[in-house]
Amino acid sequence: MKHLLKSTFPLILAIIGFMFFATMTTSCKKEKKDPKPTLATTPLYDTLGWFIQGAQGKVAGNGTKMINDPDNPGKKIQAGRLAIRTVVDKAIMIIAADTVLNVYFPTLLSEVTAGNTTGYSHLLETFTDFVQQAVSSQEVYKGLPMTTAHTHATFSRFGDADHPTSDEADFDQFINDVGQAANSLNVPTSVTGQLATLLISVKGDIVH
């Protein structure tokens, strides 16, 4: 046994070294953390954060302000993100009831065993990440690039050979549903307009 360990030890050590090196350098390209990171923000992100907190006092700085997460007891969330997630949550409900768009999101309705993570919660999170990145400039979205995700040739789950990309009418309907969600939550029209303008800016990546 002693001899066995002695003969395989250098090999094991080499494998450990290689795997450690591979893990640290290739698969997990995580950016080095700034000791005191300053979160990026914009006037629109601050306005959304200010709005979700009751629209009192000055607007500046409210986007990145950490507040209690009502859906995640004991956790904090940026006020701007909470506002966006609230709109996205409502938008997902509207999209799920919209026969033009719900064909693109069947995973929303997938039923999982009690206690397990649902497709709805995952979409809520990634959709929120995407909008948060567009609004605040913080790099939080980790999903596929929009063009790749909305082209059948590069992402087979999207559409089919006859409908390889989404059309303009679908995209307009999507903007409409998000707008309807924001309006139902009494988001001021000017803020909804800015949000819509931002989303329309990625239209070229989705409809092409």
What tokens appear for 156 in the block? 């087979």
| Distance from C-alpha of 37 to C-alpha of 206, rounded to nearest angstrom | 32
* 14 contacts other proteins (rule: CB under 8 A): no
Give the other-Cβ count within 10 Å of 26's Cβ: 8
* Biggest CA-to-CA distance, the chain: 77
**Of 47-55, 57-65, 157-165, 190-198, which part binds other proteins (CB under 8 A)?**
157-165
**Of 4-12, 43-51, 168-176, 194-202, which part binds other proteins (CB under 8 A)?**
4-12
| Distance from C-alpha of 187 to C-alpha of 131, rounded to nearest angstrom | 16
The site map against other proteins for 187-206 (x = CB under 8 A) is --------------------
What residues numbered 23-52 form the site for other proteins, per CB under 8 A? 23, 27-28, 30, 33
Give the other-Cβ count within 10 Å of 207's Cβ: 15
| Distance from C-alpha of 58 to C-alpha of 46, rounded to nearest angstrom | 10
Q: With DSSP H G I counted as helix, E B as strand and the rest as coil, what are the percentages for the chain, rounded to 5?
A: 55, 5, 40
Q: Give the shortest CB-177-to-other proteins separation in angstroms.
A: 10
* 153 contacts other proteins (rule: CB under 8 A): no
From candidates 61, 125, 153, 190, binder to other proteins by CB under 8 A = 125
Nearer of residues 100 and 191 to other proteins, judged by Cβ: 100
| Distance from C-alpha of 86 to C-alpha of 69, rounded to nearest angstrom | 11
| Distance from C-alpha of 79 to C-alpha of 90, rounded to nearest angstrom | 17
The site map against other proteins for 85-124 (x = CB under 8 A) is x----x-xxx-xxxx--xxxxxxxxxxxxxxxxxxxxxxx
Residues in contact with other proteins by the rule CB under 8 A: 4, 7-8, 11-12, 15-16, 19-20, 22-23, 27-28, 30, 33, 69, 71-72, 75, 77, 85, 90, 92-94, 96-99, 102-125, 144, 149, 155, 157-158, 160
